[in-house]
Copies of this chain bind each other. A is one copy, B any other.
């Protein structure tokens, strides 16, 4: 890829756009995306403009692998009429995704320029909520009537265009209700006069248009499907979601969880605008500042103690921080297992006990170690003892709260990935400060 990107860069300098098109047209669209990613923003746009001018289909296919943020950047830089032509080369679900990601004004202009049929299809998908099956499905689903014979079915397959990606043959009744599914191989295994009704498997796993995309992905993964049909409230077949779209959903959901755990919104993109990122991250940091100051009021209660023994200030952040670290370990294990469906309210009790045990053991080991260090460093066995006791206490509580907080949030239908961290660190700060300073004040009075 790097060599090819270098060649493309040289051709750009020489303004040899014809050669660029020839070179890229020989590659797989996925490789074209990879080359675009190797280029800087200006070169990327230049190459994309050349593709849009001469190879609309390749431009469209390359886009779908580029990531939405970058694509929006490229699409807003070319005229809406050209954007419409590029989008027309895409699958309907991708087209809807791109239209919905463009700024409203540009999206409207693009829709106006599209052929009527295609803009209606896009509007059809956009009527469904974001992150539902209806939004990510493609409405081009290949279905056969149940009263067809196998030979008629095979003939239909042979004469229909654009069928490369057909894995399952969905079977419908005369009113388009989904009634069964068959594989191409099944058709080859029976006499040609057999009716599809006899060949098909009747029990089709399907989803409704309003099914959450995460649930769709879970079903496809659980049943090892290559595609899943989408039906409306009357069980009429309206679309299909293929496994490649499911892979995107799984990646996106994982990204969402990873970013949420750090208090970042899922659409905060690394190559996006700085001010947009500020707007997205500032609220969470603001809440954090609030909880940190709240915890600081605990410290304020013990100002006289600190004035008497300023060494306490050295170890204070250590006690609070270690509780936060060990609680975050627990929290992350729980949040991920909730996302994967491995932990439920049902088996939660044993998990809570386990994590408290882990917190206690870790607290004992590191608390005693830290206590010894504090003792040897400052020569006060009381300081050492307070350090050890506070750390043990805080890490035990961290294990408990690291489990309970995400479980309770999940029960309350709040995304545990996004909100758990704030609650947890507030707990570990407060418990850390209280146990350390309170004990010190009591013993060192």
Contact = CB atoms under 8 A, between A and B. Distances in A.
A4 interface: no
A289 interface: yes
Given A164-B183, A312-B313, A342-B67, A274 B320 contact: no
A300 B300 CA distance: 20
A326 interface: yes
A196 interface: no
Of residues A65, A270, A292, which shows the largest number of chain B Cβ atoms within 10 Å of its Cβ?
A270
A261 B221 CA distance: 25
A160 to B, nearest CB: 10
Quickly give the copy total for this chain.
2
A370 B295 CA distance: 14
A163 B325 CA distance: 50
A189 interface: yes
Interface in A323-371: 325-326, 328-329, 331-337, 340-344, 346-347, 350-351, 354, 357-358, 361-362, 365-366, 369-370
Contact of A262 (B189, B329, B342): B329
B244 A340 contact: no
Interface string A110-139: 000000000000000000000000000000
A313 B289 contact: no
Interface string A214-258: 000000111110100000000000000001101110110011011
A419 interface: no
A292 B357 CA distance: 24
A444 interface: no
Interface string A297-310: 00110011011001
B318 A286 contact: no
Interface stretch (A13-21, A46-54, A275-283): A275-283
Given A38-B346, A347-B40, A350-B271, A30 B223 contact: yes
Nearest to A356: B274
Given A221-B244, A310-B303, A332-B259, A361 B275 contact: yes
A288 B320 CA distance: 12
A262 B223 contact: no
A270 B313 contact: no
Interface of A: 28, 30, 33-34, 37-38, 40, 65, 67, 154, 157-158, 163-164, 166-167, 183-185, 188-189, 205, 220-224, 226, 243-244, 246-248, 250-251, 254-255, 257-259, 261-264, 268, 270-272, 274-275, 277-278, 281-282, 284-286, 288-289, 292-293, 295-296, 299-300, 303-304, 306-307, 310-318, 320-322, 325-326, 328-329, 331-337, 340-344, 346-347, 350-351, 354, 357-358, 361-362, 365-366, 369-370, 373, 425, 429
